[in-house]
Amino acid sequence: MGRVSRWDLVVVGAGPAGSAAALGALRARPGARVLLLDRADFPRDKSCGDGVAPHALDELARLGVGDLLADRVPVRRLRLVSPGGQEVATRMRRPTWVVPREVLDARLVQAAVDAGAVLERRTVRRLDDLDAEVVVGADGANGVVRRLVGAPRQPGHALALAVRGYAPSPPGDEPEQAIVMDASGWPAYAWRFDAGDGTSNVGFGMLLPHLQARGDAPKEYLHRRLVELLPGTEATRLVSHHLPLSSARPAPAHGRVLLAGDALSLINPLTGEGIYYALHSGRLAGQAAVLSPADPGPAYARALRAELGRHLRHTTALARLTRRSGVVDAGVAAAGRSPAAFDALVEVGLGRGLITAPLVGGMARHVGRRLVRR
């Protein structure tokens, strides 16, 4: 590949993290020379649960594109079924959206171009081919940038595998997001995320080591469990994908190369949510790239630590605790009894929430009741 012109920022990967990096840079320094590279044409499909949390909408507003999903249907209802059968179904304090990635990513890319970024379809093989002040790697955990900077491969214990498809939504008055947890393969769950247009994103995911220990063909097993946990689901466009969980993350900066989104293993280990993290980390990386171009790493690392550090520590701790399915049963039971505990559970799974007193207290009371009954 021939050398490119001089750029203030080259972003490799034009998904949510990459587009947010471009937008964040141009918001922080209008007129910055930003090149956005991707090996695919847009729109393109991407295997994902398609859930867009309210915190992601906050990020879109910070990037100057708060109306990007104004035509989509907000989903306000969430149903959780724990491994032991505890169930809660209620309205969330803030709605979510379900937007296919071929729609979301194409809109984000176009917003970055409209803001002044240059988009090129290109496969990157060498970092020294990129004549840039700063490079942001937003091309995934298995992407070329993470590999070229020498960041370690994602360890197996922090990897999940999921299969995703699309199916008609079941009849009902109100769209919902439903998560049905699987006691037989825990930690694992099936999901159905209604888009509000008669279709649903459906899927099933579990930790990779647990899946490998079963010895089944992975995709076929995941599809079978999806149908067993969500009876009657007739899914099409089934695609599998790996989830690099945030419980094992590489360093965010390597000289003047920054990692964002999946390339930084920013996937919630409790829920698999990643779009909010991608937008958030991409924005911070883009800002650091143009505001501290000589040495962007420290500024980027500080911003990540200040805004997500405590949350990531809490989700990692919860991921360890919830390997015991009884802890999840207690959490869902607490959420069913207390709106504050329900809100805390949603926040820690979809945004930047923390372990809170109402959640811990509700879980303790549930365990206490079970002990008394015994």
- The answer on 328 and 291 residing in a single domain is no
Q: Quick one: pLDDT at residue 215?
A: 81
Decide if 167 is inside a domain: no
Single residue among 288, 309, 330 that ends a domain in this structure: 309
**Residues 175-196: pLDDT tens digits?**
999 999 999 999 999 999 999 9
Q: What is the span of the domain harbouring residue 336?
A: 319-373
Decide if 33 is inside a domain: yes
Q: Quick one: pLDDT at residue 362?
A: 76
pTM over 0.75: yes
Decide if 115 is inside a domain: yes
**Residues 114-155: pLDDT tens digits?**
999 999 999 999 999 899 999 999 999 999 999 999 999 999
Q: Quick one: pLDDT at residue 361?
A: 81
Residue ranges for the chain with pLDDT beneath 50: 1-4
Number of domains the chain contains: 2
- The answer on 324 and 305 residing in a single domain is no
Decide if 214 is inside a domain: no
Instruction: Note every long-range contact of 360-364, with CB atoms under 8 Å and residues 24 or more positions apart, other chains counting.
Output: 361/334, 362/330, 362/331, 362/333, 362/334, 362/335, 362/337, 362/338, 363/327, 363/330, 363/331, 363/333, 363/334, 364/330
- The answer on 364 and 257 residing in a single domain is no
Decide if 177 is inside a domain: no
Decide if 261 is inside a domain: yes
CATH number of the domain within which 134 lies: 3.50.50.60
